[in-house]
């Protein structure tokens, strides 16, 4: 019992010493990671979690030290990321613009371990993140994806939906699902159907979600009306059901009466329902469930269901 009490006392003492040594936040409105103690010593401790992440004592000038964001700071001598001096930056002109590190010469991206790296070709005055599109940015001359410039026409480039893009010359597939590339010439009349599908004249396109696969293309003679059922299922003119760009596997599905069962979000994290029905059949993964009663069938997860005939 005495040994245990002694051990607890030691831990508590270490806690008090560490708390004393870490000091107070330099600017708690901007960061919970930079601290100054009573002797004017600056330290970096990520989120104040000294017990798990430790403390990095810094050789920073306390009088000129300024916190710029959670992990970025500067003094008269250097710019710091997580307490580490950054050698690439021009410290006299350095600033943080909407969480993006910049100076008068360069824009930087952040390697969480190594710190700042130059984004080649980026203009500091006009570089900005593209709202609503992760990993995308732009300046007056370029669009960038994951810090690399994309070869497109800057003035006409735009997002069709989450996975297709266009400029005056071409329609492109997004680089977040593979290699950024043109899939066809832009002849006009490019429309988003939902965040996956697009329509160009009377042809439907669906993105590939695996490396090496081509965009799924489904031409029609004419398209008058499209009914979106979910991100993967669409109804074309009440005649054809498409699932992920291809015709529904059961070829005799009745498109006018076709419906999806509600999604159980706890089970299906992808938001696409495996269960569906028309006036005559219940389907699982586009195939008929033998004997299932259309009026009373209820899904019970990915592999089970019940109706009045089969409880």
8 Å CB contact between 168 and 153: yes
Q: Rounded to 5 degrees, what angle do the CA atoms 223, 225, 231 make?
A: 100
Express each pLDDT in 215-226 by its tens digit.
Answer: 999 999 999 999
Q: Tokens standing for 102?
A: 């910049």
Q: Do residues 36 and 28 lie in contact, with contact meaning Cβ atoms separated by under 8 Å?
A: no
So what's the pLDDT on residue 16? 41
Asked whether the CA dihedral 51, 53, 58, 61 is positive or negative, the reply is negative
Residue where the block lists tokens 């007056």: 140
DSSP-derived letter for residue 107 is B
153 token code pair? 């026409």
Domain coordinates of the chain in residue numbers?
19-85, 248-311
Q: Do residues 180 and 188 touch, judged by C-beta distance below 8 A?
A: no
Position 309 scores a pLDDT of 75
| Residue 271 pLDDT class (50, 70, 90 cuts) | low
pLDDT confidence of residue 296: 85
Average pLDDT over residues 221-241: 97
Concatenated DSSP letters for 213-279? PPPEEEE-S----EEE-SSSEEEETTTEEEETTEE-SSTT--GGG-EEPPP-TTT-TT---SEEE-S
- Which position has the token pair 């003094």? 75
Of 116-130, 139-153, 204-218, 224-238, which gets the smallest average pLDDT?
Answer: 204-218
d(CA 156, CA 163): 17
- Is residue 43 helix, strand or coil? strand
Residue position matching structure tokens 């160009």: 200
Model pLDDT for residues 238-263, shown as the tens digit of each residue: 999 999 999 999 999 999 999 999 88
Q: Find, among 207, 171, 204, the residue nearest to 187 by Cα.
A: 171
User: In the prediction, which pLDDT does 156 show?
Assistant: 98
| DSSP assigned state of 189 | -
Percent of the chain surpassing pLDDT 90: 74
pLDDT band at 14 (very low <50, low <70, confident <90, very high): very low
Structure-model confidence comparison of residues 19 and 149, the more confident one = 149
């Amino acid at each position: 019992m005495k040994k245990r009490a002694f051990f607890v006392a030691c831990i508590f003492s270490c806690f008090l010493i560490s708390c004393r040594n870490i000091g107070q936040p330099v600017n708690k409105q901007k960061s919970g990671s930079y601290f100054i103690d009573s002797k004017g010593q600056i330290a970096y401790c990520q989120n104040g979690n000294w017990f798990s992440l430790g403390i990095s004592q810094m050789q920073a000038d306390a009088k000129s030290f300024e916190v710029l964001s959670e992990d970025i700071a500067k003094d008269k001598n250097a710019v710091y990321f997580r307490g580490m001096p950054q050698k690439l930056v021009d410290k006299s002109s350095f600033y943080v613009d909407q969480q993006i590190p910049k100076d008068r010469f360069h824009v930087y991206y952040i390697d969480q371990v190594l710190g700042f790296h130059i984004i080649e070709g980026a203009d500091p005055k006009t570089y900005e993140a593209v709202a609503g599109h992760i990993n995308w940015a732009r300046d007056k001359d370029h669009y960038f994806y994951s810090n690399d410039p994309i070869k497109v026409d800057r003035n006409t480039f735009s997002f069709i939906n989450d996975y297709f893009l266009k400029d005056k010359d071409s329609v492109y597939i997004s680089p977040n699902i593979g290699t950024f590339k043109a899939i066809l010439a832009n002849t006009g009349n490019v429309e988003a159907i939902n965040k996956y599908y697009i329509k160009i004249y009377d042809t439907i396109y669906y993105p590939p979600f695996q490396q090496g696969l081509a965009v799924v293309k489904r031409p029609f003679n004419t398209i008058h009306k499209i009914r979106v059922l979910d991100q993967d299922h669409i109804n074309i003119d009440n005649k054809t059901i498409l699932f992920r760009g291809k015709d529904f596997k059961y070829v005799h599905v009745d498109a006018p009466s076709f419906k999806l069962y509600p999604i159980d979000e706890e089970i299906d994290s992808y938001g696409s329902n495996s269960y569906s029905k028309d006036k005559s059949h219940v389907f699982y993964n586009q195939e008929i469930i033998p004997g299932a009663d259309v009026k009373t069938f209820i899904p019970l997860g990915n592999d089970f269901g019940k109706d009045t005939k089969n409880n």
